[in-house]
Amino acid sequence: MKVCLLTEGSYPYIVGGVSAWTHMLIKGLPEVEFSVYSIGAMAKDRGKFKYQLPDNCTGVQEIFLDETLAERATGLQPRFLTKPEREALTSLVRNESDIDFDTIIEIFRRRKWKSPLDIFMSEDFFDVIKSAYSDTFNYLPFTDYFWTMRSMLLPFFFLLQQDLPEADVYHSVATGYCGVIGALAATVYNKPFIITEHGIYAREREAEIIKSDWVRGDFKAVWIEYFYNLARLAYQKADRVFTLFEHNARLEAEFGCPPEKFSIVPNGIHMDRFASVPKLTDHPGPIIIGAVVRVVPIKDIATLLRAFYRVQQEMPDAELYVMGNMEEDPEYAELMQNMTKTLSLKNVHFTGTIQVTEYLPRMDILVLSSISEGQPLAVLEGFAAHRPYITTDVGCCRELIYGDARDHRGSAGSVVPPLDDEAMAGEILRLARSFELRSQMADVGYERTKSGYTYELFIDSYRQIYNSYRQQ
């Protein structure tokens, strides 16, 4: 069986998170032949893999969205769209909820476009954009609207024209652009297409756009609805949609995924990888706080540093280790290091990428400060290492910390609101002052992970999923 994994901004260029999940999936199913279709942001990353591909991965097809910057239109194009095609593009441009994706695919697959920019040079498409502008944004300069639509739609049109690898099953790790490729492959090859959604992709893009300064205020809503439409297209074409926990499934239903397509498959980790990490000890000396995290904005290292500032007001000798990749967003990493100096923080260590099992034995408390998560592997790994966790109330963290309705073991740590450094500091101090509390929470986390979040359970679930298509 051949499975094509569709990734975006993750495997094999980024360590941890979805990338780690992807690598574990490939390695765990040696009987399956995998290939990877990877969508990245910048072509400068071509070939710079952070993972050694397993033997059962035949290769990576790399597509980079900044390649659209080199595209050049070949000149004015005559009218060529049929009425249904104009209607489909009109729905897309206006961000309507019911878009005829099959017709849009047909536009870009039935003829060999020299450039996806050519459609912007056609009279038909100009009429579509002009009509949408007149109805909605005519109080703004038309050029602003046109260039916004061009920036938004060009990557989408570009992807619709790419060559696709052939596979028996297409498996996307998100609903964004890689979800578009899955929907495209399902249509072109009439093959099964499944999605495993870790976080809610459209919600994550919404948060980024709201905070961004590259989207003018009037157009933020246009961009946000566009990404929700990409999600709807992926849900529409998917045979099945897997998510990591119940709350995500409810959100997906709200955003247009038919509930009958849902299944829940939690993440899983290698418990034995952490077997050598000793349990917590009530040691002399300072409390050691750790964050196993990529140093990128969505992980909100700033709130972690502000919380640690509050902690050091009461525990001056406390130490903080920020353990994770600092290369993904060098500007943000530098900003966080400068913030450490501005706050006059002592004993803050940015380790970069490390072997986490070598550092966890030193930790007394682990912290996750993210503003968005799915079901973070870092939390499960911390539990497997018998460490309590303080997390923000995002993704599946509340369920991991407190358990679901069937799990009455108790708390494996604490959950605080995102962006709330005062609450985070308060919980760090509460745990830091009681070894008995830390130890009790650590035991709960370990047992919770052992019973429901192991690598073996995770791999067996996907083996059954793939085998169900092998029999078709």
Alpha carbon distance 358, 29 (integer Å): 27
Edge-to-edge strand list for the sheet holding 262-264: 57-64, 33-40, 2-8, 169-172, 193-197, 240-243, 262-264
Q: Do 271-453 and 2-70+163-264 fall under one CATH topology?
A: yes
Tell me which amino acid residue 13 is: Y
Indicate the DSSP class of residue 8: E
Per-residue model confidence as pLDDT tens for the chain (472 residues):
999 999 999 999 988 889 999 999 999 999 999 999 999 999 999 999 999 999 999 999 999 999 988 888 777 777 778 899 999 999 999 988 788 888 998 888 876 677 888 888 888 889 999 999 999 888 989 999 999 999 999 999 999 988 889 999 999 999 999 999 999 999 999 999 999 998 888 888 998 898 888 888 889 999 999 999 999 999 999 999 999 988 888 889 988 899 999 899 999 999 999 999 999 999 999 999 999 999 999 999 999 999 999 999 999 999 999 999 999 899 999 999 999 999 999 999 999 999 999 999 999 999 999 998 888 999 999 999 999 999 999 989 999 999 987 888 999 999 999 999 999 999 999 999 999 999 999 999 999 999 999 999 999 999 999 999 986 6
Superfamily of domain 271-453: Glycogen Phosphorylase B; (3.40.50.2000)
Alpha carbon distance 341, 319 (integer Å): 15
Contact 135, 86 (CB under 8 A): no
**CATH 3.50.50.60 at 2-70+163-264, yes or no:** no
Of 409, 354, 363, 355, residue with least CA distance to 386: 363
Contact 307, 424 (CB under 8 A): yes
Cα-trace Rg, the chain? 24
Contact 108, 120 (CB under 8 A): no
Q: What is the DSSP string of 162-175?
A: S-----SEEEESSS
Domain boundaries, the chain: 2-70+163-264, 83-152, 271-453
**Separation in Å, CA 191 to CA 166, 168, 200, 412:** 9, 6, 24, 42
pTM: 0.85
